[in-house]
Amino acid sequence: MQDLLNYLEINKNRFLNELKEFIAIPSISTNPENKEDVQKCANWASDHLKNIGMTDVRIFQTEGHPIVYAEWSGAKGKPTVLIYGHYDVQPVDPVELWESPPFEATIRGDNIYARGTADDKGQVFIHFKAIETYLKNYGSLPVNIKMILEGEEEVGSVNLPKFLKENKELLKADLIVVSDSSMFAKGVPSICYGLRGLCYMQIDLVGPKSDLHSGSFGGSVHNPIQALAEIIASLHDKNGKITIPGFYDDVLPLTKKEREAFKKLPWSDKKYAKELGVRELYGEKGYTTLERLWARPTLECNGIWGGFTGEGAKTVLPSKASAKISMRLVPHQKSAKIAKLFERHIKKIAPKTVQVTVRNLHGGEPAITPIDSPGVQAAVAALEKGFNKKPLYQREGGSIPIVVEFKKILGLDTVLLGFGLPDENAHAPNEFLNLDNFYGGMRTVVHLFNELPNYLKK
């Protein structure tokens, strides 16, 4: 083991330079202009996987972006771990708020800054280097490895379930490991056992058939922006509860035990508010912040547009207004059912003065993974060795919709082994990965491969 840890230490700088190359390819999955970059990034990952010694490396084309598959199966009679991650990234706007260019990974202090450092190229890369460490030093690994890297996680993993269904045999494994979440705090490693689901909707309102002079016509028609604002404002009551009828029907209430466990975690609302730059926190009454973040459903307006938003002033009564609204879901809510409830409710409350269209953009189901499984116990042991600290158990507010599909289609549990940090600016300007987590993550994964055969006896 010491040889392996030494190898990680000696090669630190090279690893950073390689990560910079991976980061430099702007694989923004939602942006059609970056389609070729997404393909280039898949090629880069596939070449890299070949270079570190993975034997069966292939790129599967899909109706959307490609899936990279890689395998090393030289550990006869030993368990197989299937590592999942994503090489696509979120858009970078507003680009002017970045302190260094979003695709030029830059080290400042203890962090490396760029789009994709934490979510998720940097975390995927941690696995690449743990694998390389074994293969370059020993020519073998203590477990068999399969890997799938997708290019559509940030747009709802639309083509991945089909790939799983069509390749069940190829993907046979004992356990899935995903590093696409955060540790509880700096220096506090954690195992995540719950993710929220998602239901992402768009509302489009049309009022008059074209934009109107707001002086000549203001007072005679309902401004669609006002109508939209009224609709959105009515979706929460004064206690921060969502007003869509039936929305909470399937919500699994928090157990007393879990509430107590959350209360024991080191947490300060005051510190959290300060870090976020808000004077006060907001949320559903009757729940603590961690409960609201991890185990209660929410509704957020992600964007709203319409009318004149340019420099200066233009007196216009717009024809159209739109909003994107996402709901985070918890067990046992179902994304498709929530989408129907949302659509029915919006159509019911929309005033007669406007035409309304409601669209379901994408969704995913919430996940809870068992914490007493042998895979999780191996990860706990590995984290303790990698970070010199016992990890704690936490849930997360974000979504990785494929986790539920792994269970449904492949019958496999997922261990969520995150190396990001809660303030990593994922999906925002100045995303970063902490370097201690980068190297601690590599040590952890090296230990994990070593531990897994002891926990998952074949």
Does position 119 interact with Zn ion (CB under 5 A)? The reply is yes
400 close to 68: Cβ distance less than 8 angstroms:
no
One-letter amino acid at 174 equals D
Q: Which of 18, 71, 88, 365 is catalytic?
A: 88
Does position 152 interact with Zn ion (CB under 5 A)? The reply is no
Which residues is 357 bridged to in the sheet?
A: 204
Helical (H) or strand (E) element with 436: helix 435-455
Q: Which is nearer to ligand BES, 143 or 293 (CB)?
A: 293
Minimum CB separation of residue 327 from Zn ion in Å reads 17
**Can you read off the two tokens belonging to residue 96?**
């002017």
**Nearest residue to Zn ion on Cβ basis:** 119
Q: Which is nearer to ligand BES, 48 or 395 (CB)?
A: 395
Q: Which is nearer to Zn ion, 119 or 150 (CB)?
A: 119
Q: Which of 120, 153, 291, 451 is catalytic?
A: 153
DSSP 8-state class, residue 293? H
327 close to 342: Cβ distance less than 8 angstroms:
yes
Is 153 among the residues known to form the active site? yes
Nearest CA-CA partner of 230 in 369, 411, 351 = 351
Q: Which is nearer to ligand BES, 391 or 401 (CB)?
A: 401
- Does residue 37 have a cis peptide bond before it, meaning omega lies within 30 degrees of 0? no
Is 88 among the residues known to form the active site? yes
List residues near ligand BES by CB under 6 A. Answer: 119-120, 153-154, 156, 180-182, 198, 364, 396, 398-401
Q: Which is nearer to Zn ion, 119 or 343 (CB)?
A: 119
441 binds, among Zn ion, ligand BES, none (CB under 5 to 8 A by kind): none
One-letter amino acid at 264 equals K
Q: Give the neighbor-by-neighbor strand order of the sheet with 111-113.
A: 106-108, 111-113, 432-434
Minimum CB separation of residue 86 from Zn ion in Å reads 8
Minimum CB separation of residue 353 from Zn ion in Å reads 38
**Can you read off the two tokens belonging to residue 336?**
């498709």
Q: Which is nearer to ligand BES, 116 or 374 (CB)?
A: 116
CA Rg, the chain, in Å?
A: 23
Minimum CB separation of residue 31 from Zn ion in Å reads 14
Helix, strand, coil share (%) of the chain residues, nearest 5? 35, 25, 40
Size, binding site for Zn ion by CB under 5 A: 1
| Nearest-angstrom CA–CA distance, 111 and 85 | 21
**Helical pair 121-138 and 435-455, crossing angle rounded to 10 deg:** 60
Minimum CB separation of residue 318 from ligand BES in Å reads 29
Q: Which is nearer to ligand BES, 71 or 154 (CB)?
A: 154
| Nearest-angstrom CA–CA distance, 235 and 250 | 18
Minimum CB separation of residue 146 from ligand BES in Å reads 21
Q: Which is nearer to ligand BES, 236 or 362 (CB)?
A: 362
Q: In 314-387, which residue ranges form alpha helices assigned H by DSSP?
A: 335-349, 374-387
**Can you read off the two tokens belonging to residue 412?**
């496999």
398 binds, among Zn ion, ligand BES, none (CB under 5 to 8 A by kind): ligand BES
| Nearest-angstrom CA–CA distance, 25 and 129 | 19
CB atoms within 10 A of CB 396: 22
171 close to 82: Cβ distance less than 8 angstroms:
yes
Minimum CB separation of residue 127 from Zn ion in Å reads 17
Minimum CB separation of residue 195 from ligand BES in Å reads 6
277 Cβ neighbours under 8 A, 6+ residues apart: none
CB atoms within 10 A of CB 77: 7
225 binds, among ligand BES, Zn ion, none (CB under 5 to 8 A by kind): none
147 close to 49: Cβ distance less than 8 angstroms:
yes
| Interface positions with Zn ion (CB under 5 A) | 119
Positions marked active-site: 88, 153
